[in-house]
């Protein structure tokens, strides 16, 4: 993949993220804050963006969203390699609880 293709993918990801974020924020603010891991101020700014502003912002070469799973424990729980279906569900629940706790710490 060349540089132009990567930049096009980043722009597409940015626009998709902003559109999803706006939909979540307008639908249920509290759930959006949790799912997106953003502050209420950021949510207000995203909700107020016009389509033209979203297009302009998404054209950046910098990815707007980031991975919230930034430690080995959470990744291990999410991937659940070699575990049964029952254990996989428990592992994903545990990962969600850990990430929710981190969201509360950040707020």
Mean pLDDT of each 10-residue bin along the chain, 107 residues long: 94 97 97 90 97 95 81 70 60 67 54
CATH of 3-58 among 1.10.4000.10, 3.40.47.10, 1.10.3720.10, 3.40.50.970: 1.10.4000.10
Specify the pLDDT at position 95. Answer: 67
In this prediction, residue 87 carries a pLDDT of 65
Predicted confidence at residue 76, as pLDDT, reads 73
- How far is the first Cα of the chain from the last one, in angstroms, to the nearest whole number? 38
State both tokens at 22: 């706006």
């Amino acid at each position: 993949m060349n540089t132009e293709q990567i930049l096009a993918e980043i722009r597409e990801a940015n626009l998709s993220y902003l559109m999803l974020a706006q939909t979540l924020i307008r639908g249920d603010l509290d759930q959006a804050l949790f799912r997106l891991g953003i502050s209420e101020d950021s949510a207000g700014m995203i909700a107020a963006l016009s389509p033209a502003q979203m297009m302009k912002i998404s054209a950046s070469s910098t990815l707007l969203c980031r991975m919230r799973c930034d430690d080995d424990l959470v990744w291990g729980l999410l991937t659940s390699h070699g575990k049964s279906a029952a254990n996989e569900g428990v592992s994903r629940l545990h990962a969600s609880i850990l990430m929710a706790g981190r969201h509360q710490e950040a707020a």
